[in-house]
Chain A
Amino acid sequence: MTTEVVETVDLPEAVYEELKGIVGQDNISREPAVLDTYAFQYIAELLTGHSYLGRPCAVVMPASTEEVQAIVRLCNRESIPYKAVSTGWGAYGGSPAPGILQLDLRRMNRILDIDTDNMIAVVEPYVVGATLQAEAFKLGLNCHIVGAGSNTSILASATSVMGQGTTGVSTGFSNRNLLGFEWVMPDGELLRVGCFEDSDEWFTGDGPGPSLRGIIRGFAGAFGGLGVFTKCAVKLYPWFGPSRIELTGVTPEYDVEMPKNHIAYLIAFPGWEEMKEFGNRVGEAEIAFSMCHNAPAPMIAAMMESNMAFYDLWKGGLAEHFKYSLEVVIAAQSEDELAFQEGVLRDIIRRTKGREIISSKNDLRYYVDLTLGLGRIVRQAGPMATLRTIPPLAQFMIKSLMAGKRPSMFAKTLYISLVKQHLNARGIFRFGGSFWTSMGALTSWDCCIENAKEGEQIKRKWIDEGVLMDDGAENAWGGLYESGCYGHLEELGVYDQSDPICVDHGIDFVVDTVEATINKHLAMSLNATGDPFHAWYSPHVMNYHDHVASIKEEFDRANLSDASVYINRSIVESLMKMIEDGGGNFNFREIMDLANDEFVQTGPGTETEELAG
């Protein structure tokens, strides 16, 4: 047995007692075994080199806004850094430095209101996608759920982190869905944003009262670096489906009776260009409930019950057949509307040389299409190419039939996963244990495709180095939002967090992609969070760090709301200077390490004097 040295920071006894008085003794802990379950986090190894972040000094579980306020005020009085989590998934919920006070908001778990007239839900932090959706469905409504999964907090997504999800083409993006919110600001003051000036309604975040959406989150969010959000209102959308989607069967494979007038498709294209065109046209036509791109590897994995089952199907070279593909769900209000949407979709498929790989509608159509598809290959590529194509397709068909899965069943699995966002861990975590992502900020759909092309090339290099799983290199994930007004495609890299080569080099692929986004003028990376990335990006994007740092400084003068994934001006500017001094020639990895070391040493809430000097 090894003995890891754990750096700890203890809370003064009197402060601990005071916190206990606020939340009650059952809702506070400083037991190392309990604290470690907050320090252990997804992707912690990329920040600290092992599975844990810094160990918090204590965990508290407030049950109300008043308790949150009392805690934050106490932290300000005693200069204790703190950070809130809703469900607490991801290293950005903690800090690489030890000693933050972790607020776990699990006890704030109520849906306060679903206003059917105005299509608004008011929720507390521990309401997740699955629970809000279940309740909204009963009222003919639906909510936007992010691609992370329906196990994540609606509020965290709306107020603090990103917001992209697979139904975005019809349900928008989390920051756009945020209406009012209740905010315990970094100093403990309470601010309610919405229409509270004149009424008690959560009507809109953009006035007539003050709108601070851009301040509290912008695109990426403050990742817990700007106080604590205790309630928020989000926009809901119409749901033309049943009040409950009934599943049959037993885990790990559920079947679903497709709701009337809903169809799920997997549509493949000859290349990126056709896929781009299809996305734009479907967006314009406003017919899709969901439209997104999942690379073949996660898509097949999501359908299969184990890695072994996935591998059996995958090794036949299946991926080639739907490398350039989009998953589309249409969900119409009536048979007539369905017929219209189907008609439009087929027309766009035809114009963009698409091919319906599977649909939830019927199996016969699949076999006919397959035969026609093969016929096309014979005509276009000749008999030899056809012969090479048949084995993997036949293998897919035979294997899927042997596994008791008709093509329509795959499509139905696809349907539930797109609507309910429940299969993501299968599609990405099961392979090797973990993944990290890159590129993928919001941009035009055309630019998204350019991101994906570049991402694939960079991925290939790190696959060849043995750092990432060989998922076929193309593993872009994303889709279109608000009828195609914008989109996102991020590049996923799968790794094994128990393997030293991945821990040591997992971040390198991200670094390369960031570099590519700058050099090739692509959309920024999702990873433009945290000081090293700000230092790198900011000079290329109007020195935005200055604006973000000003927000942080203005709202959190004591710098106690842990900003390890948000911004620390002195670190960013010191790093920028180093980059400049090096004439732009620098090793980004070294800079990250330096920033991390410095941050871990000094801890959040402390000025980093050497660097600043």
Chain B
Amino acid sequence: MLGKTLEDYEKDMTRCARCSLCKWPPLAQVKSIRYSQVCPAISKYNFHSYSGGGKMIIGLSKLRGRVDYSEEMLNVIYRCSVCGACDISCKYSRDLEPLEILHTLRATCVKDGVAPLPAHRPILDSMRNYDNVWQQPRKKKGSWAKKLDVKNAKEQPVDTLYFAGCTYSLRPEMQGIARTTVEVLQSAGVDLGILGEEELCCGSPAYTIGDEELFVENARKNIKALNSLGVRRVVTSCAGCFGVLKTKYPLVEPANFEVVNVTELLAELVEQGRLSFSRPLDRTITYHDPCHLGRQSETYKPWHGVERKVLNHLVIQDPPKEFNRGTYGVYEAPRKVLAALPGLELTEMERIREFSFCCGSGGGAKSAFPEFALATARERVDEAESTGAEMLVTACPWCESNLSEGIADAGSRLKSASIIELVSYALGGGELS
């Protein structure tokens, strides 16, 4: 939610049971002691304060004037990948909003002028100055597509806009994936266009760091620009862009387009028989659910109501509120695509889907606390290795990049890849490492 204050969540914060359920997957899903934790922050730092519930308590203490900002308090608040795993585990049993509170706590820090942290400032400044997070001139944003024969959605009407996102557009090691995405979709007959150098940052980093003002400004510009194109749908292959476009933009302004992730579109194309795979992959892989493609990608259901109590103390929402509990995240589409690829065997990790263990790079964690991001990636890589897979496949540039660092740091034999690379290979294009 946007524009909320800690006061708005006082009851939720007071009603935390300090049960620690937010440290584990929904308990019935615990399959071993080794992979039983779900919160990256508490996994590394251990103090209760690092858990989702711990941050709710910090929010309450701040609200009640029991604590004041300090470097350590800000560290606790920002050593968190805002992955939302705590939210899912808490909401498995409760009608509380840990993730919204966590966000509001960050937004309060920004409003109070103690955040963003120094390491986050260049990113936000870059968004303001260059409309991308990588401190690159605007002109460079379209360079990835120079050699592609793809429509400019500003100049020609298209059915589907491919929103490449800052990382796929600007990171040299990632640009190939954006190109492959366009090629694959075009080969299936999708009427596709891009915005090239006029594509703006989706605003996700501003949101997760807590700079709501910058986020809203960014989102407004984007919604206006995208609305004006008259496209039926916007497809993203970055889970971060997808999550924010789909779930946060409706908080800002209505959009006249549908937002889909490339894995959803690919699954649709497979189902329609518009992609035919000829080259076997002959590999065993495991799949990492990105947080913003999975549990944090539920369509926003607006709710403007009040809390009411019936039966003396049964707390209900009036009108009824549909909580986002991670039920409708994109879990099946990537698996359907993988299942359609010849010669590919998917072996699942223990923590998957709504209780997937985060890669560690989100929420500004990677820029401010690289050792935390790396430790989290190492944990996930270890789990991926335990499946016996040769390849760790995902569908998000941030996950892919951080997990690759984890693989390198661990000296692991795993290779990392994005789903679209596997699809392209099976279609007969490109090579896999």
Q: Point out residues on A near B: beta carbons under 8 Å.
A: 1-4, 6, 26-27, 29, 31-34, 36-38, 40-42, 51-52, 59, 61, 87-89, 104, 106-107, 109, 111, 127-128, 130-132, 134-135, 149-151, 244-245, 247, 250-252, 254, 305-308, 310-311, 314, 416, 420-426, 429-434, 463, 466-471, 494-499, 502
Cβ-defined partner of A470 (8 Å) among B21, B66, B311? B311
Which of A61, A130, A497 has most chain B Cβ within 10 Å?
A130
Q: Is the CB of B24 within 8 A of A130?
A: yes
User: In the docked arrangement, what's the CA distance between A120 and B94, Å?
Assistant: 35
Tell whether A250 pairs with B313 under 8 Å between CB atoms, given A32-B67, A33-B72, A131-B30. no
How close is B153's CB to chain A, nearest CB, in angstroms? Answer: 34
User: Which A residues are in CB contact (< 8 Å) with B19?
Assistant: 42, 89, 149, 151, 425, 429
User: Which B residues are in CB contact (< 8 Å) with A468?
Assistant: 312-313
Q: Tally chain B residues at the interface, Cβ within 8 Å.
A: 69
Tell whether A496 pairs with B65 under 8 Å between CB atoms, given A130-B36, A470-B312. no
The answer to the question of B156 belonging to the interface, with a C-beta cut-off of 8 Å to chain A, is: no
Interface flags, B9-41, vs A, CB<8A=1, else 0: 011001111111101101111111100100000
The answer to the question of B369 belonging to the interface, with a C-beta cut-off of 8 Å to chain A, is: no
Q: Identify which of B320-328, B377-385, B401-409 touches chain A.
A: B320-328
How close is B232's CB to chain A, nearest CB, in angstroms? Answer: 28
Extra contacts, 6 of them, besides A31-B72, A151-B20, A498-B14 (Cβ < 8 A), are A33-B61, A150-B30, A252-B92, A429-B94, A434-B17, A495-B313
User: Which B residues are in CB contact (< 8 Å) with A431?
Assistant: 313-315
Q: List 20 A-B contacts (CB under 8 A).
A: A29-B49, A32-B68, A37-B53, A104-B46, A106-B46, A109-B33, A132-B33, A134-B33, A151-B19, A247-B29, A250-B327, A251-B91, A254-B26, A307-B95, A429-B94, A430-B95, A433-B15, A467-B312, A471-B311, A494-B313
Contacting A at CB under 8 A, from B320-345, are: 320-321, 323, 325-327, 329, 331
Cβ-defined partner of A4 (8 Å) among B17, B65, B68? B65
Residue of B nearest to A44 (CB): B18
User: Which A residues are in CB contact (< 8 Å) with B17?
Assistant: 42, 89, 425, 429, 433-434
Q: Is the CB of A1 within 8 A of B57?
A: no
User: Which B residues are in CB contact (< 8 Å) with A310?
Assistant: 314
User: Which B residues are in CB contact (< 8 Å) with A426?
Assistant: 92-94
User: Which A residues are in CB contact (< 8 Å) with B47?
Assistant: 29, 34, 37, 59, 61, 104
Q: Is the CB of B310 within 8 A of A502?
A: no
The answer to the question of B64 belonging to the interface, with a C-beta cut-off of 8 Å to chain A, is: yes
The answer to the question of B60 belonging to the interface, with a C-beta cut-off of 8 Å to chain A, is: yes
Q: Is the CB of A2 within 8 A of B314?
A: no
User: Which A residues are in CB contact (< 8 Å) with B94?
Assistant: 425-426, 429-430
Q: Is the CB of B354 within 8 A of A250?
A: yes
Q: Is the CB of B61 within 8 A of A107?
A: no
Tell whether A429 pairs with B65 under 8 Å between CB atoms, given A416-B28, A469-B312. no
Q: Which 6 A-B pairs have the closest CB atoms?
A: A3-B65, A422-B27, A433-B15, A432-B313, A425-B93, A469-B313
Tell whether A251 pairs with B354 under 8 Å between CB atoms, given A131-B33, A307-B315, A422-B26. yes
User: Which A residues are in CB contact (< 8 Å) with B29?
Assistant: 247, 254
Q: Is the CB of B354 within 8 A of A432?
A: no
User: Which A residues are in CB contact (< 8 Å) with B20?
Assistant: 87-89, 151
How close is B334's CB to chain A, nearest CB, in angstroms? Answer: 14
Q: Is the CB of A496 within 8 A of B309?
A: yes
Q: Is the CB of B15 within 8 A of A311?
A: no
User: In the docked arrangement, what's the CA distance between A420 and B24, Å?
Assistant: 14
Q: Is the CB of A149 within 8 A of B49?
A: no
How close is A296's CB to chain B, nearest CB, in angstroms? Answer: 13
Q: Is the CB of B11 within 8 A of A498?
A: yes
Which of A106, A111, A252 has most chain B Cβ within 10 Å?
A252
Cβ-defined partner of A37 (8 Å) among B57, B63, B321? B57
Q: Is the CB of B32 within 8 A of A308?
A: no
Tell whether A251 pairs with B73 under 8 Å between CB atoms, given A36-B67, A107-B46. no
Contacting A at CB under 8 A, from B336-360, are: 353-355
Which of B60, B76, B309, B313 has most chain A Cβ within 10 Å?
B313
User: In the docked arrangement, what's the CA distance between A420 and B25, Å?
Assistant: 13
User: Which A residues are in CB contact (< 8 Å) with B15?
Assistant: 429, 433-434, 496-498
Q: Is the CB of B76 within 8 A of A247?
A: no
User: In the docked arrangement, what's the CA distance between A122 and B387, Å?
Assistant: 27
The answer to the question of B70 belonging to the interface, with a C-beta cut-off of 8 Å to chain A, is: yes
User: In the docked arrangement, what's the CA distance between A429 and B31, Å?
Assistant: 25
User: Which B residues are in CB contact (< 8 Å) with A311?
Assistant: 310-311, 314, 316
User: In the docked arrangement, what's the CA distance between A41 and B48, Å?
Assistant: 12
Q: Is the CB of B73 within 8 A of A33?
A: yes
Cβ-defined partner of B54 (8 Å) among A26, A37, A111, A469? A37
Which of B28, B312, B327 has most chain A Cβ within 10 Å?
B312
